[in-house]
Every structure is written in structure tokens, then in C-alpha cells.
Structure 1
């Protein structure tokens, strides 16, 4: 039961998320390199894992940006109820 209101009710500031991810990617890479050079393999590994997570998130964000603002899922996505805006 799609209402057609999804573009207005399900938005995300993708460009802001992209730049925050870029900032996180820089810090995670710097942390990985810094801790590796300081001889702290545990912290370097933790920063490396964080770097991988941020890189995957950035890839998803870029994919959504490329899909454009009018993207709608295909017929293989089941319908859902629209959000209830009536609060008592």
C-alpha cells in the first residue's frame, strides 16, 4: 500500500552523510596508520575495521545519491503501511 508520499516522508541528507563519512574515513585511516606506527596492533586493527565499515557506508551513500531523489523500489519490494501522522 504505497501512498506516493515516500519521497517526502523518507528522506536522508545524503550529501551531509557523505561528508561525515569522508571525515570518518580520514580519521579511521589516520588512526590505523598512527597506531600501526606506534606499535599498537590492537588499536590499529580496531581502526582498520572501522575504516572498512565507513568505506562500505560511503559506498552505499554514493549508490543512493546516484539513484536520484525519485528512486522507488521495484515490484519485488513488498508494500508497507504509510506512517501514522495522527498523534493523540
Structure 2
């Protein structure tokens, strides 16, 4: 819900998430190689799962970056009014 108090220049930290994913991918890959080399299959599996999670996150971030900016209402669009009433007769935001 838009309240009108959001910063006008707010952006999603996708580039930071991109670099954190790359950093995590490097460390997870290092962990897989190191634990396979020392014969610790359990830890190597855990690092491989973490590697898979970071690769998926990296793909999602790249997809969102390629989509570009989405529509954001400008300063001339007033904030949305909170819903009054509803199904239960009370809005969850009104005490």
C-alpha cells in the first residue's frame, strides 16, 4: 500500500544484491572444492546447496535488472487512502 511517505528516489538494491550473489557464489564454490578435496562429503553437499541458491538468486537479479525500471507514480499522484471497513467491519490498521 502506498502511503505517500516513500522517498521519491527509492530504488531496489539490485546491484548490491548482484555483487553479494557473486561473492557468495565464489565462496560456496571454494567451499565445495575444498571440502571435496579433504573428503568431507556432508560439508561439500551443504556448500553445493548454498552454491545453487546463490546461482538462482543471481539469475533472478539479472532478470530484474534486464527488465528495467517499472512504473512508479509521480509526485502529482496522491497517496492511496487506507481501506476503511472491509469484511470484518474493522480495518486491520485502525485500532
Equivalent residue for 1:70? 70
Q: Alignment RMSD, CA only?
A: 3.1
- Unaligned 5+ residue runs, structure 2? 73-80, 83-95
Equivalent residue for 2:14? 14
Equivalent residue for 1:77? none
Shift of 1:11: 3.6
Equivalent residue for 1:25? 25
Question: For residues 10 and 64 of structure 2, what CA distance do their matches in structure 1 show?
Answer: 13
Structure-2-length-normalised TM-score: 0.64
Shift of 1:69: 1.3
Q: Deviations over 1:51-75 (max 9, x none)?
A: 0000000000000000001268xxx
Work out the number of aligned pairs and report it: 75
By percentage of residues, which structure has more helix? 1
Q: Deviations over 1:26-65 (max 9, x none)?
A: 0000000000001000000000000000000000000000
- Which runs of at least 4 in structure 1 moved beyond 3 Å after TM superposition? 8-11
Structure-1-length-normalised TM-score: 0.69
Question: For residues 39 and 59 of structure 1, what CA distance do their matches in structure 2 show?
Answer: 30
If you compute each CA radius of gyration, which structure gives the higher value, 1 or 2? 2
Greater relative contact order structure (CA < 8 Å, 6+ sep): 1
